[in-house]
């Protein structure tokens, strides 16, 4: 049939491409937004990490531009737990560790690391 292109009409394919582009843009904005909020919040988070006592846990706190379900010191590590993300409920957040790299983390900068699926919920 004239005007038909494999996979649908040209208008339908254009709509699919536009939809995919919008989804990609939203995902990029979310990722960049988290990075910017972390960059803006890191100094305030470090001030909390330096003063938080061993075994102390703060619940439901906003620090800088980020909100945390909890902030907790365990030995020389301070966990800033953001929450659950994704369909399988992966837990994620940040760890302040000036002495060493914690296991199962990705280094961000300085004493900061990011974790996923952490056991410290």
Does the pLDDT of residue 85 top 80, yes or no?
Answer: no
Residues 78/54, Cβ–Cβ less than 8 Å: no
Q: Can you give the pLDDT at residue 52?
A: 95
The pLDDT of 2-10, averaged and rounded, is: 60
DSSP category for residue 103: T
pLDDT in tens, 33-65: 678 889 889 999 999 999 999 989 999 999 998
CA dist., res. 60 & res. 70, Å (int): 6
What is the tens place of the pLDDT at every residue in 26-41? 665 555 567 888 988 9
- CA nearest neighbour of 83 among 51, 49, 115, 38: 115
Determine the Cα–Cα distance for residues 112 and 107; give it in Å rounded to an integer: 6
């Amino acid at each position: 049939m004239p005007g038909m292109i494999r996979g649908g009409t040209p208008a339908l394919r254009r709509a699919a491409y536009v939809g995919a582009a919008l989804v990609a843009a939203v995902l990029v904005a979310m990722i960049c937004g988290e990075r910017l909020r972390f960059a803006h919040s890191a100094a305030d988070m470090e001030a909390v990490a330096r003063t938080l006592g061993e075994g102390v846990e703060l619940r439901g706190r906003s620090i800088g531009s980020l909100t945390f379900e909890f902030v907790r010191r365990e030995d020389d590590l301070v966990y800033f737990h953001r929450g659950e993300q994704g369909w399988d409920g992966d837990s994620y957040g940040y760890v302040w560790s000036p002495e060493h790299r914690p296991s199962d983390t990705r280094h961000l900068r300085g004493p900061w690391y990011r974790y996923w699926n952490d056991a410290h919920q």
